[in-house]
Structure 1
Amino acid sequence: MDVKMQLGSQHIVLHLEDNSATRDLVSRLPLTVDLEDFGHGAEKIFYTPSKLDTSQVRRDDTTTAGTVAIFEPWGNICIFLHPSNRAYGLIQLGLVSAEDVKVLRSVSAREATLSLA
């Protein structure tokens, strides 16, 4: 499943796995969220209005630049802009491309709109 994230005049595509959390996210689209910088530029994060269904998901703390995951303790969705070896409690949702990671690193938009790609 692909989800488009509109960031002002630019957009990126989230390539999502098929699991209970991503299906729940897609069922809520379109969705406008507040995008925040986190971890001194290591991640972009946002919250959905309520937590996603995590009953059938893959828990894996491995990250690369472009990893899209839920940080389970807080319930936020994070997009990693750099690999991290200190991320724990992650539920894998998918990936964004290296090119889209570059867009995220440079974008200053605070509001993002998610829709089906």
Structure 2
Amino acid sequence: MYKINESQAAKELYAQLPLTIEVEDFSINDKVFYPPQKLSITDTPMAIGGKGKLAYFEPWGDVVMFYDSFSENSSLFELGESVSGQDDIEKLSGIITISAYDI
């Protein structure tokens, strides 16, 4: 489960939920999916940190779920971070459903 921040990009992603979408391996530290609509990065902070971060890679329009540390990138914007299930991110594959959950 992720807690999203108050950025414009995170709000736009939230507005697209629920999503049933394919999650893919990208690198050795993350999983990605492509939301139906690109997100605006206006007032969205750069992604800093590592394991458990939810980010948006603006040039390709993919949402990135990091399960290990990563290097900062000027095109990577933070959407939120994992609050539970962080160790399960690496196991995700195929079609998943992403929905909103208020805590």
Q: How does 1:94-105 map to 2 (within 5 A)?
A: 94-97=80-83, 99-105=84-90
Alpha-carbon RMSD:
1.6
Tell me if 1:113 matches 2:101: no
3-state SS of 2:70 partner? coil
Structure 1: any 5+ residue segments left out of the alignment? 1-12
3-state SS of 2:9 partner? helix
Counting aligned pairs with the same residue, the percent is 28
Residue aligning to 1:39: 27
Q: TM-score, normalised by structure 2?
A: 0.86
Tell me if 1:73 matches 2:74: no
CA offsets per residue over residues 9-42 of structure 1, 9 Å max, x none?
A: xxxx1110011111111111111111001113x1
Amino acid in the other structure paired with 1:46: F
Residue among 17, 21, 25 paired with 2:13 = 25
Residue aligning to 1:53: 40
**4+ long deviations beyond 3 Å:** none
Q: TM-score, normalised by structure 1?
A: 0.77
- Give the deviation of 1:59 after TM superposition: 2.2
Amino acid in the other structure paired with 1:49: P
Relative to structure 1, the CA distance from residue 88 to residue 53 in structure 2 (aligned partners, 3 Å threshold; closer, same or farther) is closer
Residue aligning to 1:7: none
Amino acid in the other structure paired with 2:30: E
Structure 2: any 5+ residue segments left out of the alignment? none
- Give the deviation of 1:88 after TM superposition: 4.1
3-state SS of 2:88 partner? helix
- Greater strand fraction, Structure 1 or Structure 2: 1
- Give the deviation of 1:100 after TM superposition: 1.5
3-state SS of 1:35 partner? strand
